[in-house]
Amino acid sequence: MRSERPPSVDSLARSLGSSGLPHPLCVEVAREAIDAGRVDDAAAMALQRSRRLLTPVINATGTLLHTNLGRAPISLHHETTYLNVELDLATGQRGSRQRVIGDTVALACGAEAAVVVNNCAAALLLVLAALAEDRGVAISRGELVEIGGAFRVPDVMVRSGAQLIEVGTTNRTRLTDFDRATKATDVALLLSVHQSNYRITGFSERTSIAELATLGPPVAADIGSGLLDAACPWLAGPPPAWLDGEPAARQTLEAGADLVIFSGDKLLGGPQAGIIAGRSDLVAACARHPLARALRPGALVIEALQSTMLHHLRRDADAIPFWRMASVPVAELRARAEAIAHRVGSDRVTVAATEAVPGGGTLPGRTIPSIGLSCPGDVTAVLRQATRPVIARVHENTTVCDVRTVDPLLDRELAGALSAALAATGR
């Protein structure tokens, strides 16, 4: 039996106002707390609820494109303003939201034209629906892949209304396999999908884009990762070793692809978006299709993607957070890690070599040399409680904070969070 009557939902909710949550959310928390007989925990429950909201975090995982953290890091602008999304400032007439961003993307990857949609899955769906509805699309059995988050090529194909024509075998597909399919059935499109997150090695053979381009039907290549140019002209130095063999938009088009499809938030380093670039008549067919309206991006995304593309065209990798983080020299990371360790207490954390990874389902098995701070035990749960949550990883009962994925402006905050976590866990 309770000696005291529980407070009313309303008074408890009002007492939770300092959590910063809007009143209806406080009411929900208050009701939950009273129902569970946990009135005393209500404030903690409100805090927990507020931490379920989207919030900036420190990525100390060493995974540059972390799917759970939104892949490439983005800048958030908080200026309130209108944008000339569909207005041509020269003529004062209605314009297309796609024209300028499409031209900019096309220029950056050496295509005739480009159109931007919500993500790469949407780009593939639109290409199939616009160019191959009720017709055949030939693809190698080795490329009928699933790319995480339930993106499965055969399923997208079915939904698009195109007919899947599987050719070859899982490990080996030759040009003659495609040639036979093209002669036997109505093939609207030859599709090549980058295997992204897995590799077929050993007794294997793939048909190159250049070979596919000799057959007649348009060739579309889903390269996924969004590397614009294998030469990486935006970097001061040569392309890094970890990129070796990754297909790039410019070279895939040069090899004979009529269209390339890729994500905006992987190796391009921009916001979530999907890009279709290549032959202008095919891009126009995609842009005209009724699905294009449903899959189009909003002004926030177009603005962010435009800024990413301009940085690429200016060859300014330092202005693209993903590329800036990917190319910091290890010596610089070590100096930062040592400064952080100094703040935390050099007897409490250890500076050690680590291996960062590109992530985002790209480049499986490739690593980028990096530096981390480690401490014994698993303190990741406490690190996630920091004002700006720190996401670290645990390896063999050691917590590791990789500094390659941390913005240097947040080093002090990382040091503070580490100190607090160590103190809270009695280390």
Ligand X SMILES: *Cc1c(COP(=O)(O)O)cnc(C)c1O
CB of 143 to ligand X, least distance (A): 9
Looking at beta carbons only, is 262 or 323 nearer to ligand X?
Answer: 262
Distance between CA 378 and CA 394 in Å, rounded? 6
Distance between CA 244 and CA 103 in Å, rounded? 28
User: Are the beta carbons of 406 and 60 closer than 8 angstroms?
Assistant: yes
CB of 145 to ligand X, least distance (A): 7
341-356 CB burial, b ≥16 within 10 A, e <16: bebbeeeebebeebeb
Distance between CA 212 and CA 232 in Å, rounded? 26
Distance between CA 280 and CA 98 in Å, rounded? 13
Looking at beta carbons only, is 14 or 152 nearer to ligand X?
Answer: 152
Looking at beta carbons only, is 221 or 400 nearer to ligand X?
Answer: 221
Looking at beta carbons only, is 156 or 410 nearer to ligand X?
Answer: 156
User: Are the beta carbons of 74 and 304 closer than 8 angstroms?
Assistant: yes
Looking at beta carbons only, is 25 or 164 nearer to ligand X?
Answer: 164
User: Are the beta carbons of 324 and 66 closer than 8 angstroms?
Assistant: no
Looking at the DSSP assignment, which residues form a beta bridge with residue 115?
276
CB-based burial label for 224 (10 Å; 0-12, 13-18, 19+): buried
Looking at beta carbons only, is 168 or 224 nearer to ligand X?
Answer: 224
CB of 150 to ligand X, least distance (A): 10
Looking at beta carbons only, is 19 or 196 nearer to ligand X?
Answer: 196
Looking at the DSSP assignment, which residues form a beta bridge with residue 152?
146
CB of 62 to ligand X, least distance (A): 20
CB of 358 to ligand X, least distance (A): 12
Looking at beta carbons only, is 224 or 321 nearer to ligand X?
Answer: 224
Distance between CA 123 and CA 115 in Å, rounded? 9
Residue 90 three-state SS:
coil
The separation between CA 35 and the C-alpha centre of its own chain, rounded to angstroms, equals 40
User: Are the beta carbons of 383 and 61 closer than 8 angstroms?
Assistant: no
CB of 375 to ligand X, least distance (A): 34
Looking at beta carbons only, is 326 or 421 nearer to ligand X?
Answer: 326
Which single residue is written with the structure tokens 């990857």? 109
Which residues, at least 6 apart from 177, have a Cβ–Cβ distance to it below 8 Å?
140, 167, 168, 207
Which single residue is written with the structure tokens 């938009």? 249
CB of 37 to ligand X, least distance (A): 44
CB of 362 to ligand X, least distance (A): 6
Which residue is nearest to ligand X, using beta carbons? Answer: 224
CB of 128 to ligand X, least distance (A): 12
User: Are the beta carbons of 165 and 153 closer than 8 angstroms?
Assistant: no
CB of 353 to ligand X, least distance (A): 29
CB of 184 to ligand X, least distance (A): 27
Query: How far apart are the two ends of the chain, measured CA to CA in Å?
Result: 41
Looking at beta carbons only, is 168 or 274 nearer to ligand X?
Answer: 274
Assign residue 102 a region: left if phi > 0, alpha if psi is -120 to 50, beta otherwise? alpha
Query: CB-side exposure of 68: number of CA atoms within 13 Å?
Result: 9
Binding site for ligand X (CB under 6 A): 119-121, 147, 151, 193-194, 196, 222, 224-225, 263, 274, 361
